[in-house]
Amino acid sequence: MSRVRKPLLYVALVVVVVIFLVPILWLLLLAIRPAGGSNPLDLNFTPDWSAFRYVFGSSGVGRDALISSVVQAGLATLIALPLAILACYGLTRFQYRGREALSLWYLGMMLAPPVVFVIPLFVVLSQISVIGGDWGVIIAYQTFAIPLAVLLLRNFFEEVPVEVEEAATMDGCGRPQILLRIFLPMVVPGLVVAGIFVFCACWNNLIFAMPLTGGVSVPLTVRALSFFATSGISWNYIGATAVVSMVVPMVLFWIFRKHLVAGLTFGAVKG
């Protein structure tokens, strides 16, 4: 039976890899296909890399959008993680009425359609004059960045033994010291996992970025829409923008791959 299962497993893995790679390869072919190609299925063409030079060159509109995306997603993640750490510590180490209701509220923030927050956020952010810049969308990202980080980090905080905290208390450590010197070093894999997923969620966001940004603060997700025009659709420019927007999260996952695997398997083996 094992002789049959092993080939089937390899076949299934190949099918999964193909399913994930085909869209990526298709976008790359779309980006290097010469402009004006009539048949998108025709693979017999000379690669043309001018779309990348046009979009991300010295005067390309995509370069500013790439910088804006990195700044917005990076700062939103750096703001969300400390707040999520404090929330997780309060949810896992204190007993008080309404604790589970607060956890469900974080879950509800994740389940609610993002579009329901757009108009209220637009009104509030307009009052403090941050519409059209980086900070407006960074603040808006917190509506899903903090709940996502809390949901990802809470299990890691729960895995920290209470005995460790009690021992630190007996040694004279206060709450801030316990959090900084005991909890944070033990949940580093969880912080990496939460940070990467929060960054990717902010990086890929379009619902908040489209009405809240403008000018040089427009991210890649919104900039890609500018290549849809009444005169036609520049598929090669869209493909180039999409390829670059995929490369940044891929590089991030590759750099932190060891921490990511450790974080995803954290607490899986006990004994």
Strand partners of residue 228: 233
Closest C-alpha among 157, 160, 244 to residue 203: 244
**Rounded distance between C-alpha atoms, residue 263 and residue 156, angstroms:** 9
Please report, in tens digits, the pLDDT of each residue of the chain (271 residues total): 566 677 888 889 899 988 988 888 888 888 888 776 556 666 777 788 888 888 887 667 788 889 999 999 999 999 999 999 998 888 888 887 877 888 888 888 888 888 888 889 999 998 888 888 889 999 999 999 999 999 888 888 888 888 887 788 887 788 888 888 888 888 888 898 899 999 999 999 999 998 888 877 899 988 888 888 766 778 888 888 989 999 889 898 888 888 777 766 665 444 4
At a CB cut-off of 8 Å and minimum separation 6, what does 223 contact? 61, 62, 65, 241
Question: In the structure encoding, which two tokens stand for residue 156, read together?
Answer: 């890691």
Q: Say how many CA atoms lie within 13 Å of 230 toward its Cβ.
A: 0
Domain extents in the chain: 61-226+244-264
Strand partners of residue 233: 228
Predicted local distance difference test score (pLDDT) of residue 270: 46
Predicted local distance difference test score (pLDDT) of residue 84: 93
Main-chain dihedrals φ then ψ at residue 25, nearest 5 degrees: -65, -35
Predicted local distance difference test score (pLDDT) of residue 25: 87
Q: Which residue shows structure tokens 């510590």?
A: 89
pTM of the model: 0.85
Q: Which residue shows structure tokens 């299925």?
A: 41
**Each residue of 136-171: b (16+ CB within 10 Å) or e?**
bbbbbbbbbbbbbbbbbbbebbeebeeeebeebeee
For the chain, state the CA radius of gyration. Answer: 23
User: What is the residue-wise DSSP string for 216-244?
Assistant: GG--HHHHGGGGEETTEE-HHHHHHHHHH
CATH topology of domain 61-226+244-264: MetI-like fold (1.10.3720)
